[in-house]
Structure formats: structure tokens, C-alpha cells
């Protein structure tokens, strides 16, 4: 059984690691987490020159035409670097929503902008209920002539503060079923939109977005009227796997950091890595990292191949969320007091772990999805 990367994927991994090591060291990450934008436009431009934003977008729309599995490799390297910025919201949430449901005209207009890094996209799904259940979508879009008028509040919209376009999941038919959800592409500068960044544990930019009688042309509808949830469902699968790959990279970084420290830290006249308790901590961390790697890439492969991957995606998110937390907790124990200092890099990964845990559904929610897949 060959679980290795292809030559192309190895090249992508090597080049991504070199770029992120040079352009996005931990000191830069911490500065960007504290910055109001949360990303560096110069770095964003360099990434677009490498083709990252268009990695899995077809060549016909200005992309590189690679696979979603290739993208998972890139996200793992981004996780190792604790990379901040709107890459996942723009490329995965925005790009794949257009690929899944956009008209040919919309794809030709907007996908090249994503691929080139010219425009930043995000998707507004969750509301005060903080749920990914279509029944909890209450933001309304009401037809008026050739427009729809959107009213309501979205919460935890990733990087809306720097987005040029927001794809909004709205309710266009009364009720609580998935039949009645419609997606609209909205210019973030449209009159009536109020965006407020929220304070987060790791500095990632999540926002409250209030829509107050925001008028959107019918031509900006993505997919069919009342049929938007099937698009959201498919895109959330990809976003969840991308986040798992990112968490996997962070867990690997925490493991590498802890093993290196265990070898160099001298206590009682010998490296602390010579003590059984520390050895077992490192062994448990490795077991969690490697099991996370298997589940993540299994899900990524099935999604990339267009197979039904709902169970595998939920298995990966449930496991990786918990495993990343265990890995960083043990990393803190190995480092002792120094690992809790904000100048150290270990808190960076612990905060990222906590922030990622609930994104796209927490481990408990995904365990319920696995149970349902089992017919329970």
C-alpha cells in the first residue's frame, strides 16, 4: 500500500516549506495575528506568483488545474508555519463555491480574480446559533423586482474585514429545511453592510457581518433558487479537510519542537528525553500525528476523487481536533514553564488548535455525523 506523495506533490511540499520558512517565520505570524488586517499583501502577491491561490482551479479559469489532494499537501505546510491570512476562506470557501454552483459567466468573471490573488473572497454561513445546520439559517433574502434584499446578521465570517466579495447563505423560503437556502455573491462594499472584527483566541480574523436592506442583483445568485445548501454541503467538506490538513501540520510542528527540546534540555545531568515519562509523551504525540495524517489524507483523497466522503471527513475532523489538542498539551508538559511564555512558539500552536477545533463543526458534532452514517 503506497501512502507516499507523488513527485509533483513532493516538489510542492518542498517549495512551500522553503517559502513559508523564509517569508512567514513565527515572529511574522505573531505580528500578523495582532495586525488589524491579519495578512501581508506583499506575501499574498508572492503566493499568487507561485500559483497557490489557483492551485486547484482549472486552467480555463486562470488556475493551475491541480487536484484537491495536492491542495491538502499545501495546507499541511501552512499549518506547520501557523500561516495567518484569508487563504482558506478565499480559495476553498470562495473558489469551490463558484466551481460547484457558479454559472459559466460567474466562473469566468471571478475565478481568475481568485487565482491571481486580485480579489479575496469569503463565505458567510453561521449565525448567532453558531451552527452549520441549514435549519439555523435565518438571514432572509426577499425578491424585489430584479433584485433580492438581504437582511440579518452573520457571525464568525472568516476574514470579512479584508474580503472584496462575500458569498452569503440566505433563507429565501419560509421554514427550516435545507430546501429554501439560496447563495448570493455580494460586493463587500455594498451599502448596508456593516463588518465588525471579533476578538479571537489566536488572532484569526472572524467577523460579525450585519446586512441591512442590502440589495443584490438576481444575476448574483449562485446556483438555483432555494437549492444552495447542496453547494454549501460540498464546499464545507472540502473546507473541513483543508482545516484538518492545516491542524495536522500544526501538530507535526509541535511534535518536532518538543522532540528537539527533549534532546537538548539537560536536567539531573542528562537530556530529559532519556526519561521514560518524556519518551512516552513524545511517542503518544507521534501516534496522534500519524493517525491524524492517515485520516486526513484518506478523506482528502476521497474528496479529490469525487467519492462520497462524508463519513471519512467527519472521522478526520473529530479525531484531528482532539489529537491536535492532546499533542499541544503534551508539548507544553515537555517544555515546562518556558512553553507557556508568549515569546515561545508552543502557545501559538495551542491557540491555533483551540480556534480550529470548532471551525466547520466541533468533534462532538462530527461524531454524531459518523454515528448517523452507521445508521444509529
pLDDT tens, residue by residue, 358-372: 999 999 999 999 999
The pairs formed by 254-259 with CB atoms below 8 angstroms and a separation of 24 or more are: 254/285, 254/327, 254/328, 254/331, 254/346, 254/349, 255/282, 255/285, 255/286, 255/289, 255/327, 255/331, 257/331, 257/345, 257/346, 258/282, 258/285, 258/330, 258/331, 258/334, 258/335
d(CA 231, CA 94): 11
Question: Residue 194: beta bridge partners?
Answer: 210
**Around 131, how many Cα atoms within 13 Å sit in the side-chain half-sphere?**
8
* DSSP secondary structure letter of residue 53: T
The residue behind cell 462524508 is 310
C-alpha to C-alpha distance for 8 and 14, rounded to whole angstroms = 10
Neighbour tally for 266: CB within 10 Å = 9
Give the CA dihedral 225, 230, 233, 239, nearest 10 degrees: -70
Cβ partners under 8 Å of residue 221, min gap 6: 148, 182, 183, 184, 185
C-alpha triplet 314, 291, 374: angle, nearest 5°: 35
CA–CA distance, 362 with 345 (Å, rounded to integer): 25
pLDDT at 186: 98
Angle in degrees, 0-180, between the axes of helices 229-264 and 68-80, rounded to the nearest 10: 40
Q: Coil, helix or strand for 165?
A: strand
**Quick check: 66 and 55 in contact, CB under 8 A?**
yes
Grid cell listed for 2: 503506497
End-to-end CA distance of the chain: 32
Q: Of all residues in the chain, what percent are helix, strand and coil, respectively (each to 5)? A: 55, 15, 30
Contact (CB, 8 A) for 355 and 202: yes
Domains of the chain by start residue, with CATH: 7-119 (1.10.540.10), 122-227 (2.40.110.10), 230-373 (1.20.140.10)
Rounded-to-integer distance, Cα 320 and Cα 296, Å: 8
Supply the angle between the helices 229-264 and 276-304 in degrees, to the nearest 10. 150
Find cell 474585514 and name the residue. 161
User: Per-residue pLDDT for the chain (376 aa), expressed as one digit of tens each?
Assistant: 577 899 999 999 999 999 999 999 999 999 999 999 999 999 999 999 999 999 999 999 999 999 999 999 999 999 999 999 999 999 999 999 999 999 999 999 999 999 999 999 999 999 988 889 999 999 999 999 999 999 999 999 999 999 999 999 999 998 888 999 999 999 999 999 999 999 998 888 999 999 999 999 999 999 999 999 999 999 999 999 999 999 999 999 999 999 999 999 999 999 999 999 999 999 999 999 999 999 999 999 999 999 999 999 999 999 999 999 999 999 999 999 988 888 899 999 999 999 999 999 999 999 999 999 999 9
pLDDT for 1:
58
Cβ–Cβ < 8 Å for 120, 48:
no
Which residues, at least 6 apart from 165, have a Cβ–Cβ distance to it below 8 Å? 94, 110, 119, 120, 121, 122, 185, 186, 187, 188
Tell me the C-alpha distance between 163 and 146, whole Å: 25
d(CA 116, CA 51): 8
pLDDT in tens, 200-254: 988 889 999 999 999 999 999 999 999 999 999 999 999 999 999 999 999 999 9
Whether 230 contacts 200, CB under 8 Å: no
Q: What is the pLDDT of residue 339?
A: 87
Amino acid at each position: 500500500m503506497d501512502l507516499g506523495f507523488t513527485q509533483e506533490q513532493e516538489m510542492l511540499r518542498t517549495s512551500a516549506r522553503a517559502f513559508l520558512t523564509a517569508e512567514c517565520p513565527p515572529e511574522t505570524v505573531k505580528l500578523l495575528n495582532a495586525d488589524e488586517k491579519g495578512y501581508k499583501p506583499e506575501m499574498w502577491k508572492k503566493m499568487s506568483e507561485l500559483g497557490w491561490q489557483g492551485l486547484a482551479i482549472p486552467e480555463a479559469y486562470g488556475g493551475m488545474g491541480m487536484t484537491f489532494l495536492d491542495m491538502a499537501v499545501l495546507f499541511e505546510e501552512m499549518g506547520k508555519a501557523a500561516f495567518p491570512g484569508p487563504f482558506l476562506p478565499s480559495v476553498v470557501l470562495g473558489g469551490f463555491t463558484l466551481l460547484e454552483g457558479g454559472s459559466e459567466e460567474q466562473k469566468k468573471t471571478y475565478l481568475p480574480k481568485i487565482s491571481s490573488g486580485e480579489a479575496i473572497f469569503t463565505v458567510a454561513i453561521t449565525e448567532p446559533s453558531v451552527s452549520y445546520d441549514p435549519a439555523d439559517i435565518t438571514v432572509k433574502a426577499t425578491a424585489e423586482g430584479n433584485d433580492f434584499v438581504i437582511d440579518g446578521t452573520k457571525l464568525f465570517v472568516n476574514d470579512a474585514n479584508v474580503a472584496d466579495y462575500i458569498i452569503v447563505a440566505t433563507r429565501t423560503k419560509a421554514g427550516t429545511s435545507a430546501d429554501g437556502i439560496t447563495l448570493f455573491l455580494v460586493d463587500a462594499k455594498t451599502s448596508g453592510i456593516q463588518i465588525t472584527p471579533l476578538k479571537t483566541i489566536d488572532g484569526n480574523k472572524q467577523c460579525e457581518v450585519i446586512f441591512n436592506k442590502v440589495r443584490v442583483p438576481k444575476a448574483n445568485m449562485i446556483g438555483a433558487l432555494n437549492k444552495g445548501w447542496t453547494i454549501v454541503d460540498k464546499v464545507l467538506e472540502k473546507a473541513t479537510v483543508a482545516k484538518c490538513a492545516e491542524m495536522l501540520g500544526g501538530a507535526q510542528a509541535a511534535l518536532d519542537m518538543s522532540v528537539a527540546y527533549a534532546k537538548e534540555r539537560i536536567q539531573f545531568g542528562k537530556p530529559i528525553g532519556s526519561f521514560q515519562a518524556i519518551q512516552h509523551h513524545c511517542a503518544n504525540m507521534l501516534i496522534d500525528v500519524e493517525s491524524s495524517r492517515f485520516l486526513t489524507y484518506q478523506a482528502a483523497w476521497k474528496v479529490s476523487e469525487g467519492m462520497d466522503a462524508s463519513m471519512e471527513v467527519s472521522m478526520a475532523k473529530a479525531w484531528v481536533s482532539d489529537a491536535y489538542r492532546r499533542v499541544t498539551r503534551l508539548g507544553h508538559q515537555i517544555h515546562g514553564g518556558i512553553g507557556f511564555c508568549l515569546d515561545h512558539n508552543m502557545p501559538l500552536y495551542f491557540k491555533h488548535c483551540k480556534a480550529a477545533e470548532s471551525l466547520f463543526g466541533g468533534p462532538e458534532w462530527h461524531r454524531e455525523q459518523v454515528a448517523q452514517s452507521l445508521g444509529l
